[in-house]
């Protein structure tokens, strides 16, 4: 899917669900690891994570939550 104007994804391994670039070291996102992405657009965040990490929906589980007073999505790699 083409990115909307104003997207801050510089590389395909970056994510930017709300227009703020977030860089994750996907090599360290091993089975059992998790990452919290603070964002409003949680669906777009999960889509970017799947695209950037080259994982499938069956490889992860996710939960929309508030952590440290910030709304976002936590994603765990399960496979």
For residue 1, the model assigns a pLDDT of 47
Please tell me the pTM assigned to this model: 0.85
Among 38, 39, 11, which Cα is nearest to 25's?
11
> Can you tell me the distance from the alpha carbon of 31 to that of 26, in angstroms, rounded to the nearest whole number?
11
* pLDDT values of the chain reduced to their tens digit, one per residue, 79 residues: 455 555 666 788 999 999 999 999 999 999 999 999 999 999 999 999 999 999 999 999 999 999 999 999 999 999 9
């Amino acid at each position: 899917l083409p990115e909307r104007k104003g997207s801050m994804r510089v590389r395909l391994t970056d994510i930017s669900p709300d227009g703020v670039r977030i860089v994750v070291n996907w090599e360290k996102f091993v089975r059992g690891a998790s990452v919290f992405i603070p964002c409003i657009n949680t669906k777009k965040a999960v889509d970017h994570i799947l695209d950037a990490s080259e994982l499938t929906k069956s490889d992860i589980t996710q939960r929309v939550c508030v952590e440290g007073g910030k709304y976002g999505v936590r994603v765990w790699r399960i496979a």
